[in-house]
Each structure stands twice: as C-alpha cells, then as structure tokens.
C-alpha cells in the first residue's frame, strides 16, 4: 500500500510537494493508466464504464452475488495534496489484495472504483452521479467538457449507460481524510460519517449604472460594487446569527467594467450555501436571497440569481455506521460520528445503495492544498477499519 501511495505522489507532483491531477488532464490520465496496470498485474478484473469510471473487481464465486463498492478518486484539485482521494484508492486496492491472498470466499464481489472528476474540474462528482443516473443532459452540452471526454474515448451520448442497477449493489464504502480538525482536536482515530451536507452554488449578479467616477453625483450613483459589498457583509452576519451549523462562502466577485475611474455597473458574486439539514438549507437559501433583494433595492440596482449547482444533503446508512464502529471497537480505535461538510461520492451513491464513509484525521485540517498531511500510521488504521467494515458488510445478510 505504501509503494502505491509513493507512486501516486510522483504523478502530477508539484514543486510545493503536492499534486495537480486535474480530471482528464495528462497527469490524471497517467494515474488512471497506472491503476489499470496494477489491476491487471494483480489479476483483478478490469472494468470501465461509459462515464470513464475505472474499476478493479475481485469476483464472487456465487452467481449474481451483489457487489460491495469501495470508491475513491485519483483526480485532485489544482495544486492539491497527496492524501485527498489517493488514500481511498490505495487502501481499496489493499483490501482486495488481502481478501484475495487470504483466500476468503465472500458472498459478495468487491469492486474498487475510481470516479471520474470527483473534484469537479469539469462537473462535480461526475462519475458518481453517472453511476446513480444523476447526470443532467444539459451538462453534456458543455463543448469543452465534451471535447475532454472524447479525448479519453468517451461518448457523451452514452454517459447515461454508466447507471448501475441498484439490485446489483450491496454497499458503498469510502476511506477519506477529514476536511477539518474535529478528529485532531478530539484525538480520535476514526470519523464515522453520518451525513453529508447539501450544497448549493449561485451566481448573484447586481446591475447598476456605469459613469465617470469624478463627475457623477455621489448621491445619484447606482454602484453595483457597493450593493454587492453590502450583500456580502449582511449575508455573512445573518448566517452567523441564525444558522450555527450553516456554511456560507462568497468565493469570487467579478466587477465590470473594473476601471479606477468608472462606477461599477455589474458585479457577479459567487455564493455557496451548505447545510446537512434539508429544511434549514432551504431556509438559509431563502434568507440569502432576501438579503440580495434588499441590498439591490436599497442601492437602486437590479439583480439576478443563477443557480449553478445543487447537491442534495445525504444520510449515511445506520447499518454501515454500526459496522464501522464495530470495526473500530475490534481494532481498539476511537471513533466519532460526524457530518461531512465537504461533498463526496457517497452523497449520490446513497441514493441507490446503503453508503458509508470512514474519515482519518488531517493534520491542521488542511485540505485541497499541498500542506495536506496525515501520518502513515493513521492511514493504516483507516485502511484496517475499511477492510474490517468491508468484511462485515459483505458477510451481513
């Protein structure tokens, strides 16, 4: 497992000590080719689907036995870390090797699956969504994305064929680093994910009136940046006051025309809202929109809200959570149930198959950056919990 990890650390390596394996980039393709080679060398069954997801399968002797999926991703964010995604792949491979080498005859097939574009360089959680039939055909009209798919031999017209029949699946499991410091602060070995936050992203555009900054009456300006700034300040305050568990981020803001001496006529703010509770999520969104409306009105602006993505919140399987906790107890590892504030494939797999996630600590909570770090011993603990959970889930009726 360590050899695999070290190989992947060298594919798309950056000068900062991280990796850039953006989905469908040369580095991602190199990592995928490496995975296909390993699967073949190990004698697992290699499969790929119409969304570019790559799998190595340890088949079951029983005909039509269901499959336990062990998922993760080889792709990374731009200039990301060595651990996000990678540890799930190498631990999954190791589970298959151990079960094979031990000669265990499980009543389920085991399938390690690498999802296409988990990080959303093109379309967030694309491979996982294809697996459950949650790809929107509108996404496949993005010509750049389609070109990238075709370059790796995928046909946008057949992506929907990647959808799996739920009756063929028994469980979905994933080992991942925690994005956050709850495990580290509590000195806890394993996080048992009980839910994944819902996430909605919007572009809110405020429209004012351009004008020469020196000569337009200060009291008659329709300054789109002033209105957008008031929105950002007020929305953050509202979320803090009313939604203790809610997440809010304005990650970008673009000004037109963007000149020193011209009053901003158009400002687009990118907005993200997350909550694990579906109803509170809806309340947060409607309050954010109300603030946008008020700030537009009080600054004499027009505004428009464009929804970019909507990822539903998801509950993990109670039976799988109990299996993870039992595995931790067997291995004398501490564990804690926790919400995932980041999106993961299990957000979608849970729509068609009982799903669970195992978190290991990330030092300092760093994620999506080269400084991401998890001690090797913690990864081994996580891989052992994954293996024990896989066995419990596979054996469970």
As measured in angstroms, the least distance from the Cβ of 47 to its own copies is 31
| Residue choice 160, 181, 302, 322 for contact with its own copies (CB under 8 A) | 181
As measured in angstroms, the least distance from the Cβ of 276 to its own copies is 11
- By CB under 8 A, is residue 198 in contact with its own copies? no
- By CB under 8 A, is residue 250 in contact with its own copies? yes
| Residue choice 262, 280, 331, 363 for contact with its own copies (CB under 8 A) | 262
Distance from chain centroid for Cα 284? 21
- By CB under 8 A, is residue 225 in contact with its own copies? yes
- By CB under 8 A, is residue 307 in contact with its own copies? no
Size of residue set near its own copies by CB under 8 A: 55
Q: Which is nearer to its own copies, 100 or 236 (CB)?
A: 236
- By CB under 8 A, is residue 336 in contact with its own copies? no
- By CB under 8 A, is residue 274 in contact with its own copies? yes
Q: Which is nearer to its own copies, 196 or 352 (CB)?
A: 196
Q: Which is nearer to its own copies, 86 or 201 (CB)?
A: 201
Name which of 285, 252, 284, 288 is nearest 267 in CA terms.
252
CB atoms within 10 A of CB 62: 12
- By CB under 8 A, is residue 241 in contact with its own copies? no
- By CB under 8 A, is residue 191 in contact with its own copies? no
The binding site for its own copies (CB under 8 A) comprises 178-181, 197, 199, 201, 210-219, 223, 225-226, 228-230, 232-233, 236, 239-240, 246-253, 255, 258-264, 270, 272, 274, 308, 341-343, 365, 367-369
């Amino acid at each position: 497992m360590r050899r695999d990890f070290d190989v992947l650390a060298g594919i798309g390596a950056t000068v900062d000590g991280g990796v850039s394996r953006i989905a469908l980039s040369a580095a991602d393709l190199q990592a995928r080719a490496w995975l296909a080679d390993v699967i073949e060398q190990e004698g697992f069954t290699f499969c790929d689907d119409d969304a570019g997801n790559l799998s190595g399968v340890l088949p079951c002797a029983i005909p039509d036995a269901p499959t336990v999926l062990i998922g993760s991703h080889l792709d990374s964010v731009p200039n990301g870390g060595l651990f996000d995604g990678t540890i799930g792949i190498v631990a999954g491979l190791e589970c298959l090797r151990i079960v094979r080498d031990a000669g265990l005859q499980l009543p389920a097939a085991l399938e390690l699956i690498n999802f296409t574009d988990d990080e959303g360089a093109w379309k967030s959680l694309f491979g996982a969504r294809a697996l459950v039939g949650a790809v929107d055909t509108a996404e496949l009209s993005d010509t750049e994305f389609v070109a990238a798919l075709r370059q790796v031999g995928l046909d946008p017209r057949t992506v929907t064929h990647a959808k799996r029949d739920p009756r063929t699946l028994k469980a979905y499991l994933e080992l991942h680093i925690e994005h956050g410091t709850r495990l580290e602060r509590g000195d806890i070995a394993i996080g048992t994910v009980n839910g994944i936050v819902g996430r909605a992203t919007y572009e809110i555009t405020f429209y004012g009136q351009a004008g020469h900054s020196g000569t337009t009456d200060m009291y008659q300006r329709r300054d789109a940046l002033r209105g957008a700034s008031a929105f950002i300040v007020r929305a953050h305050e509202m979320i803090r006051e009313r939604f203790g568990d809610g997440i809010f981020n304005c990650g970008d803001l673009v000004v037109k025309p963007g000149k020193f001496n011209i009053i901003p006529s158009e400002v687009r703010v990118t907005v993200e809202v997350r909550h694990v509770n579906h109803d509170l999520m809806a309340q947060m969104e409607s309050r954010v929109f109300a603030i946008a409306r008020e700030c537009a009105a009080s600054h004499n602006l027009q505004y428009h809200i464009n929804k970019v993505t909507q990822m539903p919140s998801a509950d993990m399987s109670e039976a799988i959570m109990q299996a993870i906790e039992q595995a931790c107890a067997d291995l004398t590892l501490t564990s804690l149930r926790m919400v995932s504030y980041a999106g993961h494939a299990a957000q979608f797999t849970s729509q068609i198959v009982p799903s669970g996630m195992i978190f290991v600590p990330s030092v300092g909570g760093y994620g999506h950056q080269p400084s991401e770090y998890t001690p090797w011993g913690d990864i081994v603990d996580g891989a052992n919990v994954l293996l024990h959970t896989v066995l419990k889930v596979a054996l469970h009726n």
